[in-house]
Amino acid sequence: MGSETIVLLSRREIDKMRKAGILASQLLDHLAPMVQPGVSTLELNDEAERWTRENGAISAPLGYNGFPKSICTSVNEVICHGIPNAKQKLKDGDIINIDVTPILDGYYGDTSRTFFVGTPSPVAKKLVDVTYECMMRGIAAVKPGGRIGDIGAAIQEYAEGHGFSVVRDFVGHGINREFHTAPQVPHYGVKGKGKRLRKGMVFTIEPMINEGTYEAQVLDDNWTAITKDGKLSAQFEHTIAVTDSGVEILTLPESKDEYKSA
């Protein structure tokens, strides 16, 4: 995690964050048609890198603390930080989270979506549907004067109400001209607890919701986090800004239709 000081962004800075955020959402839109059986996660990575450079940005994950690729591709039981690989080919029925963070004009746009590969199983479909709704409920809980705990409480209540669990080991984070900064934003918690939300705060809300246990383990590559029980995990992520009256999603696709239930 970067700075422990919560930075409040100016309107000009939030405009820059919005431009980076829109580019990030456009990158996911661009990759979406490639999510098909037989495509390797490395092919997704390489196209993401090409497109990012073509659009005047650079890939924040590439080289970040030694991360070897430009995007994260987390398939099935992988919770987050999956490393693209030529040998990993998508199969019908898989789910894959693609997490992208282009840097545009010095500002970071961070967003992710979970995609269905072909036809999902009923449990995969339910998990992904619930995870998307968890993110949106977490975002809806944001308003000036509120608390960080309001976000996690909304997410946890909905996920656990549907029989799923919320990952504890990875959280949302502040973001601006740094990739990861204060505040940390847990996706579980107690309403009315935690740091107070203030206009100009910008951070990610990115719940990771598991089919079974919330417990995670990190593989020997020191990046790939998987569910301890081998069951499915899904994730969605937006970068948001606290406004005068509520919240603005900075990574919203221009189409406003980022997720269609399969």
172-174 and 181-185 as β-strands: parallel, antiparallel, unpaired? Answer: antiparallel
Interatomic CA distance for residues 99 and 110, integer angstroms: 8
H/E stretch holding 130: helix 122-140
Interatomic CA distance for residues 147 and 9, integer angstroms: 18
110 is an annotated ligand-binding site residue: yes
Query: CB–CB of 139/177 below 8 Å?
Result: no
173 is an annotated ligand-binding site residue: yes
133 is an annotated ligand-binding site residue: no
Interatomic CA distance for residues 80 and 110, integer angstroms: 14
187 is an annotated ligand-binding site residue: no
30 is an annotated ligand-binding site residue: no
237 is an annotated ligand-binding site residue: yes
Nearest by Cα to 242 from 154, 144, 176, 175: 144
List the binding residues.
81, 99, 110, 173, 180, 206, 237
List the binding residues for a divalent metal cation.
99, 110, 173, 206, 237
List the binding residues for substrate.
81, 180
